[in-house]
Each structure stands twice: as C-alpha cells, then as structure tokens.
Amino acid sequence: MEEEVSVGEWIVTFIIFSIPIIGFIMLFVWAFGDNTKPSKRNWARAMLISIVGLFLLAILWNFLVFGGVFYGFNSSVNV
C-alpha cells in the first residue's frame, strides 16, 4: 500500500513550487527522484508535461500572430 501525501506536505509542495526557478528544478526532483511518493511523482510529471505543452502552444501562437503581422506589413510595403 502506498503512503499518502498529507495536506501539510501538499501545502509545502505548492509553496516550494511557487518559487521561481527553484520550483521548476524541484519538479524534476519530484518527478524523477526515488524517494518521492507516487502521487507527488505523478503530479510533478503531469505539471512538467503541462508546462512543456503550454510553452509549445505559446511559441506556436507567437509565430501565428507575429507572422501574420509581418506578412501584412510586408505586403502593404511592397505595393
């Protein structure tokens, strides 16, 4: 039977996660560490996947928006 993560431990986890850079590094520690409880490990892996997915969507969005702006600017300049 797996050990549960207590409410207090989750609160500390969220506080650590909210610290810039340190929180991101800790996600890797929790996701791939051997001493992490399974529920926290799964949460950390899901957060990493979500962060990567949102980062890729942001890059795609910027290419679409700024690509359209530059295309429109270039087509109006070359008239």
| Helix, strand, coil tally for the chain in percent (to 5) | 80, 0, 20
Residue 72: which domain range?
A: 7-77
What total of structural domains would you count in the chain?
A: 1
Are 26 and 46 within 8 A, CB to CB?
no
Using one digit for the tens of pLDDT, what is the confidence trace for 21-41?
A: 999 999 999 999 999 999 999
pTM of the model: 0.79
- At a CB cut-off of 8 Å and minimum separation 6, what does 9 contact? 40
Tell whether 33 is covered by a domain: yes
Does 1 fall in a domain? Answer: no
pLDDT, tens digit (0-9, with 9 covering 90-100), for 42-54: 999 999 999 999 9
Determine, yes or no, domain membership for 70. yes
Domain membership of residue 2 (yes or no) is no
